[in-house]
Amino acid sequence: MSKTMNSVEFELVRELEARIITGKIKVGEFLPPERTLSNEMELSRPVIHNALIRLEEKGFIQIIPRRGARVLDYKVHGYLNVINSLIECHGSELNHHFRNSILNLLKGHCDLLVADITGNEYDAVLELPKETLFEAMNANSKPQKIDAFMELYTHFGQSAVNPFYSMFINSCHAALRDIAQSLVDRDSAYHTFLRLWTSLLHQLKAKNAEKAYAINQTLFELLFDVWK
């Protein structure tokens, strides 16, 4: 894996992803050579090279020695973290079916988290600090509420025995943030969400899987309603 991106590399990756996702650069075409991109973007060659490595890691391109970077069909070759790229590129313009697909994935994932945390055969510990829920309930500004929403699901994923759950939550970070934005735009929906999350937390701590599943179902019915 390449090293952590700096802000310049991050913005460059987003720009190139957007060109591929929107079809400005077609599948099968080659990206301009690194030297050309360096001149066009007014960035150093190492920054360009690192950005291309990131694109390859996500399944957007294939770097072919002595030929360049060929654009791949991300729908075929893309990895889970492409979800973040699609959300960041299209945002509110994502179609209804794609949004439903993401929410269905997240709901199924959270059902598995419930099983992991409540199952007797596991040693999962729900490590959700009281401060996290307290901050969510007392957040005043929209950015604070969005951050609180993100913290709840981040800690939820980290509580499971299986590290996949946390990695999945990270892979859907942009989607969760967009969902949170829609949620906090409706104040009553946000408070309903917090009430349900409090109930979910109680059932998870009590290892009551059946009730936790039911609450998670209601939670996602709410999220389906607001993110459409």
- Cα separation, 69 vs 71, in Å, equals 7
| Range from 1-5, 102-106, 124-128 carrying the lowest mean pLDDT | 1-5
- Cα separation, 70 vs 61, in Å, equals 5
* pLDDT tens digit sequence for 25-74: 999 999 999 999 999 989 999 999 999 999 999 899 999 998 999 999 98
> Domain limits of the chain?
7-77, 82-226
The DSSP secondary-structure symbol of 68 reads E
Q: What is the pTM of this model?
A: 0.71
Looking at residue 116, what is its pLDDT? 83
Mean per-residue pLDDT for 14-31?
93
Looking at residue 120, what is its pLDDT? 58
* pLDDT tens digit sequence for 192-220: 999 999 899 888 888 899 999 999 999 99
CA distances from 176 to 32, 83, 113 (A): 33, 11, 16
Categorize the per-residue pLDDT at 94 as very low, low, confident or very high, splitting at 50, 70 and 90.
low
What are all long-range contacts of 208-213, with beta carbons under 8 Å and residues at least 24 apart? 208/118, 209/114, 209/115, 209/118, 209/119, 212/114, 212/118, 213/111, 213/114
- Cα separation, 166 vs 153, in Å, equals 9
| Domain 7-77, architecture per CATH | Orthogonal Bundle (1.10)
Looking at residue 125, what is its pLDDT? 55
Looking at residue 169, what is its pLDDT? 86
Categorize the per-residue pLDDT at 2 as very low, low, confident or very high, splitting at 50, 70 and 90.
very low
Would you identify the CATH topology of the domain 82-226?
Four Helix Bundle (Hemerythrin (Met), subunit A) (1.20.120)
* pLDDT tens digit sequence for 118-170: 875 545 456 565 677 777 888 889 999 999 899 888 888 887 777 788 888 88
